[in-house]
Amino acid sequence: MRELEAVIFDYDGTLVDTEETYYEVMEYLVKKYTGKQLEKLSYIRNVSGTSVEQCKKYITETFSMTDEEYDVLEDELREGMGEKLKRSALLPYIKEVFELLKENSIKIGIASNGLKKHIESGLKYHGLYELVDDIVTKYDVDRAKPAPDIYLKSADRLGVNIKNCVAVEDSKPGATAAAASGAYLILQTNSITKHIDFSGVKYKERDVNLYERIESFLKGGIENV
């Protein structure tokens, strides 16, 4: 057993239900600019949890858009997404989990490929910002997820051993990064990412009651399973 020192969370799709919001807005914009339907499962398998670069590659290739045409779509996407993302609902038990961790002096980190401004805005909206000890994004490291750099950097800045950390992720790139870092990986999927094929990802547990699981770690340490 190892004593729990920190829990490091992904943001989009793990703390807040932004994945569904991303899909709904992108579906609308693809229809508007191409007249075609953005197929949900294909979007999930090719875009969810990846990067803005991968999203652009997938959309332009799938719908035969030029870079210039996509840039127009992306401008509208950015204009319309800020407020929607900020107001995306918290996923179950997240606030209670954060409060439990703080009550027990366990550090909380965010490790995300997303924009720090977007993450901070959402955390403040949901009253969680003051509970978070540190936020690391892909702009703080040489390699984004699926490389483990973000998780290793987060543990370093929190002043903890990554092997004494629980990582909570919902996407394949993120889960791959967390597992490679040496953290104890809990895969918590949502309505979008539950459709992803996670074969090959070495997670410890999947879709648990996170509050109860953290409670058990506080009482008995992290199980080395």
Per the domain annotation, does 119 fall within a domain?
A: yes
Indicate if 65 and 24 belong to the same structural domain: yes
Domain membership flag for residue 152: yes
Q: Is the predicted pLDDT of residue 85 greater than 90, yes or no?
A: no
List, in sequence order, every beta strand (DSSP E) within 69-159: 107-112, 134-137
Q: Are residues 29 and 13 in the same domain?
A: no
Report the pLDDT value the prediction gives residue 225, as an integer from 0 to 100.
Answer: 42
User: What whole-number distance in Å separates Cα of residue 10 and Cα of residue 174?
Assistant: 7
Confidence of residue 164 (pLDDT cuts 50, 70, 90): very high
In a domain, 225, yes or no: no
Single-letter amino acid code for the residue at 123 = L
The answer to whether residue 117 sits within a structural domain is yes
Mean pLDDT rounded to a whole number for the chain: 93
| Cis amide prior to 173 (ω within 30 degrees) | no
- Give the domain extent around 80: 19-86
**Mean pLDDT in residue range 193-218:** 95
Identify whether residues 114 and 172 lie together within a single domain. Answer: yes
Whether residues 24 and 46 fall in one domain: yes
Q: Is residue 1 part of a domain?
A: no
pLDDT, one tens digit per residue, over 48-76 is 877 788 999 999 999 999 999 999 999 99
Residue 165 domain flag:
yes
Q: Are residues 106 and 51 in the same domain?
A: no
Lowest average pLDDT, out of 4-13, 64-73, 121-130, 187-196, goes to: 187-196
CATH code of the domain covering residue 154: 3.40.50.1000
Partners of 7 in the β-ladder: 108, 166
User: Are residues 149 and 49 both part of a single domain?
Assistant: no
Enumerate long-range contacts of 42-47, CB under 8 Å, 24 or more apart: 44/192, 44/193, 44/195, 44/196, 45/195, 45/196, 45/197
- The number of folded domains in the chain is 2
Please indicate, yes or no, whether residues 55 and 108 belong to a single structural domain of this protein. no
Q: How confident is the model at residue 40 (pLDDT cuts 50, 70, 90)?
A: very high
pTM: 0.89
Confidence of residue 223 (pLDDT cuts 50, 70, 90): confident
Q: Is residue 151 part of a domain?
A: yes
In this structure, the answer to whether residues 94 and 70 fall within a common structural domain is no
pLDDT tens-place string over residues 99-112: 999 999 999 999 99
